[in-house]
Every structure is written in structure tokens, then in C-alpha cells.
Amino acid sequence: MFDSVVAPMTVTDFFKEYFRNKPVVIKGADNKFSDVMNWKLLSDILNQSAIWSPHSLNLYSNTRAISADQFSYPSLTREGNEGRLINFDQVAEHVKNGASLVLNDIETLNPGLKSVAHAIESTFVGKVQANLYCSRSENQALPVHFDTHDVFAFQVEGSKQWRVYGTSVQKPINHHFFKSIDQSFHEANKGELSIDEELTSGDFIYIPRGFYHEAMCHSESTVHVSYSCVPIIGIDLLTAFFDVAVKDELFRDAIPNPDEKSGKKLEEHITRLVGRMRNNVLSPEFQEPFKEALNNYKFDRFSVKLPDDFV
Ligand SMILES: [Fe+2]
């Protein structure tokens, strides 16, 4: 199904030229993504009012988050916990006044959103989630930034100006080290402008992780859905090895005292640890389950068809 997202480009060309390499815009007919999201589908999911909380629904005004107490009220949640639910009258007022509405983790909320998540997941192997951004007037939800995941964004209503710059941080991940970088660093290091294009309904943009970007609303009303895709990385291999090391006496043993005169014992011990790790990671006993985990690296999204499934 991903072939229909990148058409008229082929999936082969997408892999060869752009995937994890460089950003690209693919223009499409107005209605290309209308079964994924449109005003009616957006109203439908928002009207399931009890599923929304300040965790899943946020508002931004000129790149700053609006405090949740300005659009939500204390209530029991669907799970029966003390929490907050959304006051949609206040949300509408904020959006009318120029705020951007951001919905998190919406990839299962209608069949179109779900099928795109599945298409990205099965094509690229990674964990996929979707957020939605909606604005009614000139506004920028987020300042220039890079993401720690690949971005597949679908313009579904109105238009938005996208600017994509270079990358100064290679392969960033979701870790404090990258998340705590100051905005002034981003502004100073965003690099050369490589894409400056108005995306209209039916257009698609792909941005590999690490590339700086910003999106600005120009039209009266605009909606885009952005999917993130997080792959298994080298650090995940270390995490998988941790479970193996726990069962190995050598890794549970104390490290020799580094103050010992020659330091030889410490050096020998570390050499033994590294050798044991190498042998272990290269063994079929480690590799087979790791490959299996790679193939199954996606979120479980169940699908129910009634009444057949209940008969
Ligand atoms: Fe982003």
C-alpha cells in the first residue's frame, strides 16, 4: 500500500534515493489522502470526546504550549482514574484565536489512519505512530527542530509552508542527550535551506531523522498528519545482550581493582568480557531471536470484524 503513498515515484526509487538519506516532497491530487483524514473524519474522532485528555490533545500558540487548565477540566477518565477531560468549546476558542491543535497517537482511530500506519511499518520495519496538526490561521506550532525518528507527513486539508534544512546531528535518538539541546543551538546549526515548498492537500513530505525543519500555516484552515517511524538500532542490540550477560558469571564478576600496579589484570578482564560478548552476539543462539525481534518490531494493532469474529 505504501506504493500508492509515494506514487508516481516507485517504492524502489524511494528506498534508493531518499530513505534515511534525504528529504523529498511528492505532489498529489487534492483527494489523494482523503480516506486517511479530512474535516469530517477529524470531527468524527474529536466527537469521541471521552477519549481525549491533555496527554493526547495539546494546543500551541506561536511555538509555545498552552497550559492544559485553559482547555480541560478535572474529571474521572474512561479508565476510572482522577484526571482531566477536554473542554472543546475552549479548544475551539483557542484555535479561532490562532492556536494550533495537536493530537497525539491517533494511528488507530479510523481505518485510513490505521492502514497507512501498517503500510509504513511493513515497508520500513519500525514502530509507527501518528500525530495530527490543525491550524486556522497564520501560526507555527513548533520552532525549527529535528526529530529523532523519520517523518512521513500527509497534507490533508488546506496548505502549509514546509522548510527543510540540513542536518548537524547524525542519527539522533530519543534520549536526554539530544532532547536537551538548546533552541539557540538549533537556530544556529540548522544549515542550508534545501526545501521551501507550499504543500497543499494531497501532497506528501518525507524527512529523515536529524534534518532540521519547520512548518508554517498560511491558509485559512490546514491539517496535516505526521507519522513517525522508529527502527531497531545498535543500542537495542546492547540492550538485548544485557539479558544474556545477566546469566553469565563472567559479567556478574567484580572488575579487578584499577589501582593495581601494572593494570594488567584489569586489561585482561576487559579483554575477556569483550571476547565473550563478541562470541555471544555472533552465535546463532543470540542472532536468531534478535532477527525474529527485528521482523516483529511493530505495535500490535488488532482488527475486529463483526459479527463474524464473535460467531
Ligand atoms: Fe518535526
- Pair (226, 200) in one structural domain: yes
CA of 300 to the centre of ligand 1 (A): 25
Residues paired with residue 76 on neighbouring β-strands, in sequence order = 82
Q: What is the CATH number of the domain that holds 194?
A: 2.60.120.650
- Pair (99, 177) in one structural domain: yes
Output the pLDDT for position 284.
Answer: 96
Write down the residue that cell numbers 502549509 correspond to.
Answer: 160
- Residue 304 in domain: no
- Pair (107, 243) in one structural domain: no
- Residue 306 in domain: no
Share of the chain above pLDDT 90, in %: 80
CA of 209 to the centre of ligand 1 (A): 9
- Residue 302 in domain: no
Share of the chain above pLDDT 70, in %: 98
- Pair (88, 131) in one structural domain: yes
Contact by Cβ (8 Å): 117, 128: yes
- Residue 303 in domain: no
- Pair (149, 164) in one structural domain: yes
Write the pLDDT tens digit of every residue in 2-45.
999 999 999 999 999 999 999 999 999 999 999 999 999 999 99
- In the chain, the amino acid numbered 249 is E
CA of 213 to the centre of ligand 1 (A): 6
- Pair (150, 21) in one structural domain: yes
Write the pLDDT tens digit of every residue in 272-298.
999 999 999 999 999 999 999 888 888
Contact by Cβ (8 Å): 114, 36: no
Residue 100: give the domain boundaries: 2-230
Nearest to 9 by CA among 22, 23, 25: 25
Give the C-alpha separation, 12 to 91, whole Å: 43
CA of 143 to the centre of ligand 1 (A): 9
- Pair (146, 272) in one structural domain: no
Contact by Cβ (8 Å): 149, 233: no
CA of 140 to the centre of ligand 1 (A): 12
- Residue 311 in domain: no
CA of 138 to the centre of ligand 1 (A): 18
CA of 254 to the centre of ligand 1 (A): 44
Give CA torsion, residues 154, 159, 164, 170, to 10 deg. -30
Three-state secondary structure call for residue 175: coil
> Across the chain, what does the average pLDDT equal?
93
Nearest to 18 by CA among 194, 145, 187, 156: 194
List the grid coordinates of 252. Answer: 556478574
List the grid coordinates of 54. Answer: 491533555
**Phi/psi at 47 (nearest 5 deg)?**
-70, -10
- Pair (148, 179) in one structural domain: yes
Please report the sign of the dihedral spanned by the C-alpha atoms of residue 271, residue 272, residue 273, residue 279: positive
- Pair (40, 69) in one structural domain: yes
Write down the residue that cell numbers 481505518 correspond to.
Answer: 111
CA of 148 to the centre of ligand 1 (A): 9
- Residue 305 in domain: no
CA of 172 to the centre of ligand 1 (A): 13
Q: How confident is the model at residue 178 (pLDDT cuts 50, 70, 90)?
A: very high
Output the pLDDT for position 262.
Answer: 65
Q: How confident is the model at residue 260 (pLDDT cuts 50, 70, 90)?
A: low
Q: Is the pLDDT of residue 90 over 90?
A: yes
CA of 195 to the centre of ligand 1 (A): 14
List the grid coordinates of 194. Answer: 534545501
Give the C-alpha separation, 281 to 268, whole Å: 20
- With vertex at residue 114, the alpha carbon angle to CA 92 and CA 200, rounded to the nearest 5 degrees, is 55
CA of 120 to the centre of ligand 1 (A): 17
* H helix or E strand, kind and range, residue 118: helix 111-124
List the grid coordinates of 299. Answer: 505495535
CA of 21 to the centre of ligand 1 (A): 16
- Pair (266, 135) in one structural domain: no
CA of 233 to the centre of ligand 1 (A): 20
CA of 265 to the centre of ligand 1 (A): 49
- Residue 301 in domain: no
- Domain count of the chain? 2
CA of 171 to the centre of ligand 1 (A): 14
Give CA torsion, residues 303, 223, 51, 123, to 10 deg. 30
CA of 225 to the centre of ligand 1 (A): 11
Nearest to 98 by CA among 182, 224, 222: 222
CA of 101 to the centre of ligand 1 (A): 15
- Residue 191 in domain: yes
Give CA torsion, residues 13, 215, 60, 222, to 10 deg. -80
CA of 150 to the centre of ligand 1 (A): 9
